[in-house]
Amino acid sequence: MSETVDSAKAPQKSGGAANEFIEIVKTVVYALLIALFLRVLFFQPFTIPSASMEPNLYEGDYIIVSKFSYGYSRHSVPFSPNIYTGRIMDKPAQRGDVVVFKLPSDGHTDYVKRVIGVGGDRVQMRNGLLYVNDKLVQRDPLSPVKTDLGFGQIVDVARFQERLESGKAYVTQDSGPDGQLDNTETFIVPAGFYFMMGDNRDNSSDSRVSPFEGGVGLVPAENLVGKAQIILLSWKPEASIFKPWTWVLGARPSRFFKLLK
């Protein structure tokens, strides 16, 4: 009798294990779908790969971008599938916003810059000074910051607080008034486009540089991914997932949970 009972229980154990595995798979799938839903509609993380937005964003900063700030386009979806054009629930970006967008020349590479010009604006750099609609943007000097140029070369770089007509203020970094991009033509921003600039004015390939020269050029509204809201975490560039000790030694806790301006 006991042998019969034992042989009857064996398939039940096998079936129980199979059911448990199926439940685990279902849980993982549901979790991934929820994460995808949140990523598409609400928030998406990005890592800053360069110094073009210093002194506000540093290489190694881990930022959170709100997807709902400007509505949704095909670029709100991973891999930017060509499923529709334009934007749904469109809300225009404002001058001074820090924005993540898809590079217009390829439609896939993520860039982060600050909105300087909107449709109808005239933007120009003259001797390192920014003019919007032929008016000089207010710029007040701040204390310089030491910057590592590599190979042990550390220099002082000037910082300024810029203030737009709207009252939006932010800090820029400038190596001098005679850089390659410190004197430009007057750019007229068409309706439905944005003029983007990096806060590190002498180290940013942005809308001042045409796509034919490897720059950003003007950015269509459709290419906006979202508004950068907060630096969640930050590590020095030399930190690596394969070097566990750098997770602590390379952390920059002073930048954790820092709201972006």
* Predicted pLDDT of residue 2: 36
pLDDT at 18 over 80: no
Question: Which listed residue (67, 102, 113, 227) is catalytic?
Answer: 113
Which superfamily is assigned to 42-259 in CATH? Umud Fragment, subunit A (2.10.109.10)
The verdict on whether 52 is a catalytic residue reads yes
Q: Which of 198, 199, 195, 200 is nearest to 217 (CA)?
A: 195
| Stronger pLDDT, 140 or 5, i.e. the higher one | 140
Q: Could you tell me how many residues make up the chain? A: 261
Mean pLDDT, rounded, for 31-56: 81
Rg (CA), the chain: 24
- Going from N- to C-terminal start, the domains of the chain cover 1-41, 42-259
DSSP 184-199: -PPEEPPTTEEEEE-S
pLDDT at 204 over 70: yes
For residue 98, give the H/E element and its range. strand 98-102
| Stronger pLDDT, 64 or 26, i.e. the higher one | 64
Neighbours of 164 (CB within 10 A): 17
The verdict on whether 2 is a catalytic residue reads no
* pLDDT tens string 81-109: 888 888 998 999 999 999 999 999 999 99
The reported pTM is 0.84
* pLDDT tens string 61-74: 999 999 999 999 99
Mean pLDDT, rounded, for 143-168: 84
pLDDT at 181 over 70: yes
